Structure 1
Amino acid sequence: MNQDNQLGRRRLFAAAAAFPASAVFARHGQAQGAPTIRIGVLTDMSGAYRDTGGPTSLACAQQALEDFRPAERGLNVEILSADHQQKADVGAAIARRWFDLDQVDVIVEVNNSAVALAVASVAQEKNRIHLNTGAVSSDLTGRGCNPNLLHWTSDSWMCANAVAPHVVKSGGKDWYFIAPDYAFGHSLQRDTARMVEQAGGQVLGRTFYPFPSTTDFSSYLLQAVRSGAKVLGFANGAGDLQNSLKQAHEFGIRQRGLRLTSLVTFITDIHSVGLEITQDLLLTESFYWDLNDRTRAFTRRLLPKTPRNYPNQEHAATYSGVLHYLKAVAEIGAPAAKASGRDTIAAMRRLPTDDDCFGPGRLREDGRKIHPTHLFTVKKPGESKGAWDYYIPVGSIAAEQAFRPISEGGCPLMAR
């Protein structure tokens, strides 16, 4: 080994040692002599996105193993977990350690777009898989796409496409945005602004705030009021969104003539903030626990593991993505799956997707998973039957119309 390679390995080991150690969360299967498939759940266990991903996403990965029953198919499977701390360098270092030292085959979740783009780059280098079920930036299947990356649930284009035209057509033509200053916020604001303008509206202003250090949104809210806009679009999520909604309520933003619109909203956000503040809010999710018999059945199986946190679309995506990955591994065999992430993705594309969370769907050539999405409004306190009974269905968008056309994404793979 030459000196440069030795130095590179020492740096990798030093970086990996500096971050919290991953933990083996679950093991399934006892097939003698069969290689072990390892799934790494890389998520936010302690920060702003803990409830939208975190332990509940980990539980959903475990639920996928239990429902798939790998031991009956001669497979050995382990789930590992780690916290990316909302830092791209931490996420990339964990990915390298997992791929190089722990023989992890696929990394799922990663609910931070900057971290997801970094992990996807490592997965491409190592020919493993980043199955993204948490980050929202549409760049993951656009300019940032690669042959080892899959994007499973909502993205910024889908959210903008579902919400913005509906708001503009109902009279909300003048917009102001508040967004975090990193990949997720920029792509969500950009995609929504384009949808607003295409629908006949206009953007009067925008503010990008420091992430994840911002907790006081008062100055940004006052800037939105002074702009003269009629719609205030929150292009943020989780803890930031929750603080934004609470402070907007305290400042009486609605009473000042602004319509509040949240572009990436999960039921966990509604539960945290409460119906008094969030009532009548328009939002989109691809999954709602009470949508149909299949979503209710999935939720019943999961709740013993997460009794205080009902699943949202990010949690459901982790279940769905892990389940479909395991189906592909069973088809091509564990040795082939461990040998090549790209071959495993090819098998995942050949198989139609179908599960209790999203129903039938498919994987596109750019890595985008296709399924319907849904518009909801939040119930008034008197309309809810109890905790987690929060949504009124407004409509659905068919799978092929819900996501950005593959020809418009700019994915380099499509130019080959």
Structure 2
Amino acid sequence: MSDSPDLETLTQALIQAASQAGADQSDAIAVRGQSVSIDVRKGGLELAERAEATEIGLRVLIGGRQASVSASDHSDITIREMAARAVAMAREAPVDDMLGLADPDQLAETRDGAALQMTDPAPDPSPDALQAMALRAEAAAAAQPGITQVESAAAAFSRRQMWLAASNGFSGGYTRSGHSVSAVAITGQGTGMERDYAGESRVWASDLPDPEQIGLLAAQRTLARIGSRKPPTGAFPILYDRRVAPTLIAHLLAAVNGNAVVRGASWLRDALDEPVLPADLTVTENPLRPRYPSSRPFDAEGLPCLPREIVAGGVLTGWTLDLATGRKLGMDSTASATRGLTSAPSPGHSNVSLTQGDASFDDLLADMGTGLVVTSMLGASINATTGDYSRGAAGFWVENGKIAYPVNECTIAGNLRDMLMTITAGNDAEDWRPVQVPSLLVRGMTVAGA
């Protein structure tokens, strides 16, 4: 990779080619990535994968029209062809007068990720080291009585460099690393088989739990599912375990996304400055948290990222906006633009957290009395406009404030607007998560089981 072209040089070449091809404005991204993943099974190597590539993307704007192209080849002729193709595509695109780059005085002054510690300074782990970690996780899971097999255990590493440049003068980039370990354990046979998993990922390897902890947790979660059956049908409180509670806040984040609001396809489209959560809860976003996986010093349009409150004291305080959606709504961008190599900027979130409460998980169980603890979900039917919500779920049935037995093959349903206004937050949010949310008790949902 050291022989590959400099990413900044590639983006500047793309900007220059776009100008020569007739673009009014342009921005370019160059990404260089490498990754290694190792899967083991039954004490031996099951799969080893390595990927390494440098890719480039270009967006051009001409009179309110835009188009994006990308390539994995970065020769001079490819760059010129990309620019010509993008300009030709843009001239055929529909007009959107709100499109355009940031003004130079809006651009971030910090243009690297050094302060955010986004890349692990330790040497990259070797494939042998990753295999050893995966084997340790597998062995810890397999050693638990009742585990019939470990379906898979894996360890992976990645390092990704990104550079963004634009014709408004912005030029900046950073490197991000990632380390992960996971395991999937199985108990039982045939129709009585149950499985569960555990996995962790970090920017720095030194922040990862020991592989043995991950393997043990996968086994414990699997063994707890022995004897699963359907729960009763009816209206009950539901306790979203901290493993799945972030999905509820993710639905709220999707509803405050500027793209959804502009289209009128948000169940919160009329809720600005109104309560959307109980008054003791606040949702914050902080893209500047050191060593977190989605931290970033600037967004995909070169604007400086800053902490902000999305919901303050239960009240929705604003939308999540990039430049275009902000202009359409008559508001400033929240520096939330994200983009890929072939896509235009669109709003997104990074490092979101919900206020923690005072109640422990056991306190929430006692509070719910009889109901359902949800630990995993599959499938989804979410009406983005009305907030009507229905999902398949599995977890544990609770009676008299205590877990009675594991359950599966049930459906939970409600309306997100009503659900979020009734939640009680626990005090057990897990650290290092991109959406950091404790267990959440939701009142009055419908469970469809036996």
Could you state the TM-score of these two structures normalised by the residue count of structure 2?
Answer: 0.24
**More helix by proportion, 1 or 2?**
1
Structure 1 or 2: larger strand share?
A: 2
Between structure 1 and structure 2, the one with the greater Rg is: 2
**TM-score, length-scaled by structure 1:** 0.25
